[in-house]
Amino acid sequence: MQNHFDVIVIGAGAAGLTAGIYLSRAKVNTLILNEGAIGGQMVLTHEIANYPGVESISGYELARIMKSQAQKFGCTIKSNLKITNMNLQGDIKEITVNNKDIYTSNAVIIATGGKSRTIGATGEDLFKGKGISYCATCDGDFFQDKEIIVVGGGNSALEEAVSLTKYASKVTIVHQFDHFQAFEYYVDEAKKNPKINFIMESKIIEFLGEDKLTRVKIQHQQTGDITELDIDGVFIFIGYVPNTEKLEGIVELNDWKEIVVDKNLATNIPGVFAAGDSIAKRYRQVTTAVSDGTIAALNAAEYIINSPYAKKYSID
């Protein structure tokens, strides 16, 4: 069967590509199906300085190397597609792509990662790229001597707020709680920066403007009071959500919509493993995604060796 593989990996981020490298090197016929750009969140990272063995590398470059490593070992990678149906029960797993192409396999590794959380306020979609940004290093210089807001209270928000003071004349951090989740160091750096001020216990509820963003409506979480603020730009860093919407009702997810796995990274469905940022875990880094990808790949390989399919076709 041309469209049959030993293992299908869903997602080509650090976890999925690592699984592809390990499986293909072990001569397990592997297909990676990816919805977005290859590399996932690595591509969103300008510089990775904490990946052991490499002092500093752009996320794009690291992703490019991982992809080429996987392909050199014979892994097939298909990207920029849409998975439209998944049937993961039974010995043969079936995945439909773009409503027409069906791929089957004996095991599946889900490595769908995560994406930036959006505020969900009115106008957010409309002003993306016209005042609203999710990337300080990409768009910071459009806000030279302008007044901006940074939304969020974690490490990324506070770190980026400080870095954006290189460009902006004033940075206002809007955070929904009365305290920050960020490490103390990032909070101190932000607090001692004269260009930064804070609006706590508040949320943006609406983005306003004509052809670009000029104003926001902010609501205080305790009093309910709504104020309007003239602003040139808003940078949003409010964390990540797992890409698991399509898995609801298919594999077990926890209350945070993360995939529930055991220590072998097996899900509740036999032959279905999961790895990387989409699983329930505490630390989400390239190193941990790579580690998960390795564990899931080795367990998936072992699973197919012991499966009825392996008995018929004998995989070495």
Ligand X SMILES: Cc1cc2nc3c(=O)[nH]c(=O)nc-3n(C[C@H](O)[C@H](O)[C@H](O)COP(=O)(O)OP(=O)(O)OC[C@H]3O[C@@H](n4cnc5c(N)ncnc54)[C@H](O)[C@@H]3O)c2cc1C
Which positions lie near ligand X, rule CB under 6 A?
10-16, 33-36, 40-42, 44-45, 48, 50, 83, 111-114, 243, 246, 276-277, 284-287, 289
Using CB under 8 A as the binding rule, whether residue 293 contacts other proteins is answered as no
| Contact present, 75 and 88 (Cβ < 8 Å) | no
In terms of Cβ atoms closer than 10 Å to its own Cβ (0-12, 13-18, 19+), residue 228 is exposed
SS3 142: helix
Using CB under 8 A as the binding rule, whether residue 137 contacts other proteins is answered as yes
Q: Which two tokens stand for residue 13?
A: 């981020």
Residues known to be catalytic: 135, 138-139
Q: CB under 5 to 8 A by kind: which of ligand X, other proteins, none does 276 bind?
A: ligand X
Distance CA 183, CA 276 (A): 23
Q: CB under 5 to 8 A by kind: which of other proteins, ligand X, none does 233 bind?
A: other proteins
Strand partners, 30: 7
In terms of Cβ atoms closer than 10 Å to its own Cβ (0-12, 13-18, 19+), residue 170 is middle
Residue 49 or 316 with smaller CB distance to ligand X: 49
Using CB under 8 A as the binding rule, whether residue 133 contacts other proteins is answered as yes
- What is the pattern of x (binds other proteins, CB under 8 A) and - over residues 62-101? -----------------xx-x-------------------
Burial call 270-304: b when 16+ CB within 10 Å, e when fewer: ebbbbbbbbbbbeebebebbbbbbbbbbbbbbebb
Least distance in angstroms from the C-beta of 248 to ligand X: 11
Q: CB under 5 to 8 A by kind: which of ligand X, other proteins, none does 75 bind?
A: none
Using CB under 8 A as the binding rule, whether residue 212 contacts other proteins is answered as yes
Among the residue ranges 20-28, 56-64, 186-194, 299-307, the one whose residues contact other proteins (CB under 8 A): 56-64
Radius of gyration, alpha carbons of the chain: 22
Using CB under 8 A as the binding rule, whether residue 36 contacts other proteins is answered as yes
Q: CB under 5 to 8 A by kind: which of other proteins, ligand X, none does 34 bind?
A: ligand X
In terms of Cβ atoms closer than 10 Å to its own Cβ (0-12, 13-18, 19+), residue 48 is buried
Q: CB under 5 to 8 A by kind: which of other proteins, ligand X, none does 129 bind?
A: other proteins
Q: CB under 5 to 8 A by kind: which of ligand X, other proteins, none does 220 bind?
A: none
Distance CA 295, CA 69 (A): 18
Q: Kindly determine how many residues on this chain lie close enough to bind other proteins according to the rule CB under 8 A.
A: 28
Distance CA 42, CA 35 (A): 15
Among the residue ranges 57-65, 68-76, 154-162, 293-301, the one whose residues contact other proteins (CB under 8 A): 57-65
Residue 57 or 272 with smaller CB distance to other proteins: 57
CA–chain centroid gap for 135, Å, is 14
**Which residues are near other proteins by CB under 8 A?**
36-38, 43-46, 58-60, 79-80, 82, 128-133, 135, 137-139, 142-143, 211-212, 233
